[in-house]
Amino acid sequence: MKHRQKLGIMLLALALVPGAALAATYSWIGQGADDDWDTCPRNWVVLGLGGCYPNDSADDASIPYNASGWAITLIHLDQIDHLTIDSDVAFDYDYDGTHLIGTLETNTVVIAATNGESVVTMAADAGTTAVD
């Protein structure tokens, strides 16, 4: 019994350590009241232990094929590990009138065009940055 108590305390301590988050895998389903990246829980399905949307540097996210494409609004800075895109996606961002406040940083982006057409579009004044 003592070993189980110690294990429970160690797992709780690990969960409380900053940066000790567990990776989760998310799939966009876009059924929320809006198209915001952080709308919970209706825009994402999560596999594993995670929050209700991908926002941790260990998280993976995928946007599956949709014949109509997707429009997704980035609300604030989110950092994830991998992003896989299998459909047309129009990313937009939130802007507070002075600053761009919607940003998504990833380690890897995989774009798998299923229809041979453009897959990713961004707002006219948005940009992409590649970091080594």
The helix/strand/coil state of 27 is strand
pLDDT tens, the chain, 132 aa long: 444 444 434 434 444 444 445 689 999 999 999 999 999 889 999 988 888 999 999 999 999 988 888 999 888 778 899 999 888 888 887 766 665 667 787 787 877 766 655 555 555 555 555 444
- Distances in whole angstroms, Cα of residue 73 to Cα of each of 8, 18, 111: 39, 27, 18
With a CB cutoff of 8 Å and minimum separation 6, the contacts of 75 are 36, 37, 38, 94, 101, 102
What are the tokens at 53?
């949307």
pTM of the predicted protein model: 0.68
**Which residue shows structure tokens 């980035």?**
74
Give domain limits for the chain.
22-122
Q: Which amino acid type is present at position 6?
A: K
